[in-house]
Structure 1
Amino acid sequence: MASLITSIASGLWYHTVTAFLFTKSDIKTTLIPISILATVSAPACSLSSIPHAVFWIWLHLLQFDVSNQTLDPEEDKNNKKDRPLPSGRITFRNAIILRWLLVPTCFALSLYYSLQVFWASVALVFFTVLYDECGGHAGHWAVRNFINACGFASFEYGSTLIARCDRTSLDGAGIVSVMCSFGIFFTTIQAQDFKDTEGDRLIGRQTLPIVVPFIARYTVIAGLLSWSAALTLIWEVDVMTSLSFHALALLVGVRFMTLKSVPQDQVSFYLYNVWLSAAHALPGYWRSYAAV
């Protein structure tokens, strides 16, 4: 009996680590910023709702990442060897099975919360298929940015609903926060593409840094500073917080313009996600201070 329990525990741990490795690279870029937005954009009914929202985000992120990483497993063998497919933790066939089993799993979990959360899940799966299986990831940069932004908005809409007492609708602040986030992703998500330019060029992707490399770096600083100004007005941020937020945007933007090696672009993208998390936290500032 003891050996059976040990074997089951070992198997569960193995598969848990495998699932984590599928999503590992997107924890800082997706899970953390969207969890922050969901937590602060909704007047949470209790702290117990936050783990529900975070798990919902992670499960849908797993669905997206398994889909994305089964598109071209050979691509990850060179620069992302710790992922489950190139490391041999899971076979390609089993990954495909997992990819499509996750879809009804996401739907069922979402329907448990509300019909509105279910539709957010449907939208997220739709944009995943459009981005991955239908080739949106390799299309024109504007189409790629648009699909990315729609996918992130679906993440945010569903998770913010879960964080609320009323899981059937968002209030005005919640709607504005999701709309602003959509705009941020649509205009600045190319920040993630600079570090991957060489690999993207080899497989024919038309990202903004490939199509117009010089202009692309200016779009990041312009987008960050513009959104910093807009968000501080929308969420009625005080002067010192606004200056700090703008300083962070300027730091990230200047780094993208002046430091252009792959390792430097990776660090700049990490800092971009710090700015993004701060941007997603501003609705919480408004709820805590300006709206009092």
Structure 2
Amino acid sequence: MAKYLALPTSFEHAFTTVGKWVYTLFLFTKSDIKTTIIPVSFFALAASPNLNFGSTPEAVIWLWIHLLQFNVSNQTMDPEEDELNKRDRPLPSGRISLKSARALRWALVPLCFMVSILYSLEVLYASIAMVASTIVYNELGAHNQWLIRNLLNGFGVASFEAGTTLVTSSNRHYLDSTAIISIGLSSFLFATTIQAQDFKDIDGDAMIGRKTLPIVYPKFARYTVIVPLLLWSASLWYIWKLDAFLASAFLGLAAYTGYRYLALTTVKQDRVSYYWYNLWLSMANALPGYYRYIHQ
């Protein structure tokens, strides 16, 4: 039986134990490095009205702590799901007990607030919004219904982006109109396309009774990826005033990603398609930076 993490029993074991804890925390967020950390970091660097590039590491740490808060909460809700297809996560791999994970989940809430208030009240507000949406999404069970789930995902992303963008700015009390519009667009974009992540998880979701779009409407759901991707790409082309080359590349990436979801439909292929979706999402999140650099 795998040994659960515990406090070090002797000084010589301290560093080893700390290393195990750090790696365990990383494993809670490993799968979302590509889906959250990278796209939101790109977004913050692009949308920040007064970018302080030296604050990027702080912004990534702020984002990671809040992602950790969400993921620990999420992974303690239905641990049996991860037993099926995500066995490297801390709970199914036996690196931490469910009781300890739940204690960690609530300990992270004041940590998020304390880290945020070091920057500004506005960053704290973003943190509170993220924590509140986490509770509604996970503890109150909103993640089990696809429409509410998508809307809350959009709200959560807006909270991530607002806080991270503020931390990257030299003025951590203020977001200009471009940043605010960018957050609104990104939130709506995410809410209308995030079903792209559900195809690869269909077996685990079905096992616990979660009603995701691919489960409720299996054939129709695949069209809900390609159509929004193309519509959003065309809309962002117009909104951010892209040149012909960049617009063509962006639309081409959307078309290829959408095609994969329609034509390549095994779970293994859906995992690869989800990487392409995240590449498209990262590009979409970087477009406000193009607009600032070229048109402002």
Could you say which TM-score interval applies, normalised by the shorter chain? over 0.9
Secondary structure of the corresponding residue to residue 77 of structure 2:
coil
Secondary structure of the corresponding residue to residue 87 of structure 1:
coil
Structure 1 counterpart of 2:279, which letter? Answer: V
Which aligned pairs between 1:1-292 and structure 2 lie closer than 5 A? 6-139=12-145, 141-291=146-296
Secondary structure of the corresponding residue to residue 113 of structure 1:
coil
Conservation of the 8 A alpha-carbon contact between 1:21 and 1:83: yes
Deviations 1:94-120 (A, max 9, x none): 111110000000001111111111011
TM normalised by structure 1 equals 0.96
Structure 2 counterpart of 1:186, which letter? Answer: A
Aligned equivalents of 1:142, 1:79: Cα separation in 2: 24
Unaligned runs of 5+ residues in structure 1 are none
Deviations 1:34-79 (A, max 9, x none): 0110111003442221111111110000000100111122221221
Structure 2 counterpart of 1:64, which letter? Answer: F
Aligned equivalents of 2:80, 2:218: Cα separation in 1: 26
Which segment drifts farther, 125-134 or 45-54?
Answer: 45-54
Aligned equivalents of 1:202, 1:93: Cα separation in 2: 23
Deviations 1:233-292 (A, max 9, x none): 11111000000000000000000011100000010011000000000010111111222x
Structure 2 counterpart of 1:62, which letter? Answer: L
Secondary structure of the corresponding residue to residue 70 of structure 1:
helix
Aligned equivalents of 1:280, 1:45: Cα separation in 2: 15
Which segment drifts farther, 201-210 or 111-120?
Answer: 201-210
Conservation of the 8 A alpha-carbon contact between 2:85 and 2:204: no
Equivalenced residues, count: 288
Deviation at 1:196, TM superposition (A): 1.2
Deviation at 1:216, TM superposition (A): 1.1
Secondary structure of the corresponding residue to residue 121 of structure 1:
helix
RMSD: 1.3
Aligned equivalents of 2:234, 2:51: Cα separation in 1: 31
Aligned equivalents of 1:44, 1:59: Cα separation in 2: 23
Conservation of the 8 A alpha-carbon contact between 2:81 and 2:205: no
Counting aligned pairs with the same residue, the percent is: 53
Aligned equivalents of 2:171, 2:127: Cα separation in 1: 17
Secondary structure of the corresponding residue to residue 118 of structure 2:
helix
Conservation of the 8 A alpha-carbon contact between 1:43 and 1:163: no
Structure 1 counterpart of 2:43, which letter? Answer: L
Conservation of the 8 A alpha-carbon contact between 2:49 and 2:175: no
Unaligned runs of 5+ residues in structure 2 are 1-9
TM normalised by structure 2 equals 0.94
Secondary structure of the corresponding residue to residue 281 of structure 1:
helix
Conservation of the 8 A alpha-carbon contact between 2:237 and 2:247: yes
Structure 1 counterpart of 2:161, which letter? Answer: E
Aligned equivalents of 1:160, 1:33: Cα separation in 2: 12
Secondary structure of the corresponding residue to residue 48 of structure 1:
helix
